[in-house]
Amino acid sequence: MSDENNRPVVISARGLKRHYRRGSETVKALDGVDLDIREGEMVSVLGPSGSGKTTLINLLSCLDAPTEGTLTIAGKSVAGLGEDELVDVRRGTLGFVFQKFHLLPTLTVAENVELPLVFLRRPVDRAATTAVLARVGLEGRSGHLPRELSGGQMQRVAVARALIAKPKVLIADEPTGNLDKANGEQIFDLFRSLVRDEGLTVIVTTHNLQLGYLSDRVVTLEDGRVVKEEKGQALAAAGAAH
């Protein structure tokens, strides 16, 4: 038997809703989601456009506030917190990877990776930068500019930038949306290795069902609600091995 249900819960949502007004209409972008994310697992969030994937990710990331419901991150209730307090929660726990790489074109790879440390007022450690670049397969690229990299390499820089501050949870919103099939698979393989080797928790949204099912668990949304939760291939394979 797998021990996935014995792992501590790092993010817990209950009755999570995000409603907003559009003219005379109430849009129910998220309409009552219950979800637990456990330490050291990779969870894919799937669903068609408009299903609520990005809304859910924004709430779990503390980038937006729920209309109703409770949300606990690393044991701390975040409902009703002010922006400064939410920043503290994000700073200590969460790292982010987006569809667009958001690299600064005039900074080198190493400088882009180290940028979060500047904002966090933490000392820059070049040995740590070198190590995290090696972890994502970019040895020897630290002095390159983004324009000298492929799309897959730029996304790896973005992953390294998210890892440099040592988050507990990596949240990736459509991280392969701008990549070809081979590079998309490599990014998911990288996420899987971070979960397997370092116990990182990864939450990823994707339109790509083939990639999504490489996770431990797959959560499917429709119309702002969870309609299905199932084991992904990684967890199914681990269970079969026991």
> Which two structure tokens, joined as six digits, stand for 153?
């390499």
This prediction's pTM: 0.89
Cα separation, 213 vs 188, in Å, equals 10
**In the sheet where 68-73 sits, what is the strand order?**
25-38, 9-22, 68-73, 76-77
Query: Please, what are the domains in the chain?
Result: 4-241 (3.40.50.300)
Q: What is the pLDDT of residue 1?
A: 34
Cα separation, 78 vs 133, in Å, equals 32
Q: What is the pLDDT of residues 135-145, one digit of tens each?
A: 999 988 999 99
Q: Are 233 and 214 in contact (CB under 8 A)?
A: yes
Mean pLDDT, residues 51-55: 90
Q: What percent of the chain has pLDDT over 90?
A: 54
Q: What is the pLDDT of residues 81-135, one digit of tens each?
A: 788 888 888 877 899 988 888 899 999 999 999 998 888 888 888 999 999 999 9
Cβ-proximal residues to 26 (8 Å cutoff; 6+ apart), any chain = 19, 20
Cβ-proximal residues to 216 (8 Å cutoff; 6+ apart), any chain = 4, 41, 42, 43, 195, 231, 232, 234, 235, 238
Q: What is the pLDDT of residue 201?
A: 96
Q: What is the pLDDT of residues 55-82, one digit of tens each?
A: 999 899 888 888 899 999 988 888 777 8
Q: What is the pLDDT of residue 34?
A: 95
Q: What is the pLDDT of residues 20-48, one digit of tens each?
A: 888 888 888 899 999 999 999 999 999 98
Residue of 187, 227, 177, 224 lying closest to 42 (CA atoms): 187
